[in-house]
Structure 1
Amino acid sequence: MGLKGFALTVDVLLAIGIASIIILALSQVPKQDHFLYLERVANDILLVLDKDGTLDTLNASLITQGLRQFLGTTLVAKLEIKVYNYQDGNFVLNETIVLVEPDASLGKDVHRADRLFVKFENNEVEKYSFATLLVGSR
């Protein structure tokens, strides 16, 4: 009779061990999902700001308003826009716009998104711009 109790105890310990391994493995999933969320948010913010024409304005206050719409209270962002002119076969850096919203550090989980956009005037390219957006958690 003593051996039956021992076998049952080993089965229970084995089941607890397997359940612990599964729980530990699944506990790592939210970090990956959070990074995927930041990646999607960063790419979507740049896409929307480009498609609605906000980036083309190169107006810091308008771009900051656009960023605030997407960030909410849990995200922070740093946006850097480099504006180039094309002269004599070369790209010349005209200006750099750096916006941090809100004024805080980006935290430890950060995702970067990049987007090239071109501003047209009278059916001709006026400026070439490169935007880099860093989005992080507070």
Structure 2
Amino acid sequence: MPIDEPVRQTADELTLEVAAVPAQAAALRDLLAKWALDHGLPRELADDLKLTAYEAMTNVVRHAYPDGTDANLMTITAAHEDGRLEITVADEGRWRDGRRAEGGRGLPIIRAFAPEVSVTSTPTGTRVRLAWPCPAT
């Protein structure tokens, strides 16, 4: 599945709005890692970014739209400014309370590999923000 065209792209920011499906998450993890490398993030940290961004996108695919009645979109933003690189993965789904029979390792993995993490859930969606220190290119 080809990656959708960027909604917005500048030298230091990339925004994509894509279908929340496994093929998009898989393709985007590689695109984000390359983008991070091109913006000066060291390879080891770019690998961490690839893993954590993929986990965040997979959470959207698996949990944000379980009943299929919502838009089933996710928005991914990559930005490089003020000596840091930030990835945001957002959806418009609804948080489902309760333990899941499967999974449950995504957020611990994200928190273990990204230096800065915030997760904001509201009735209108969830936003996961990941950030790494990154020198200017």
TM-score, normalisation: structure 2: 0.31
Question: If each structure's helix is expressed as a fraction of its own residues, which one has the higher value?
Answer: 1
In terms of Rg, which structure is larger?
A: 1
TM-score, normalisation: structure 1: 0.30
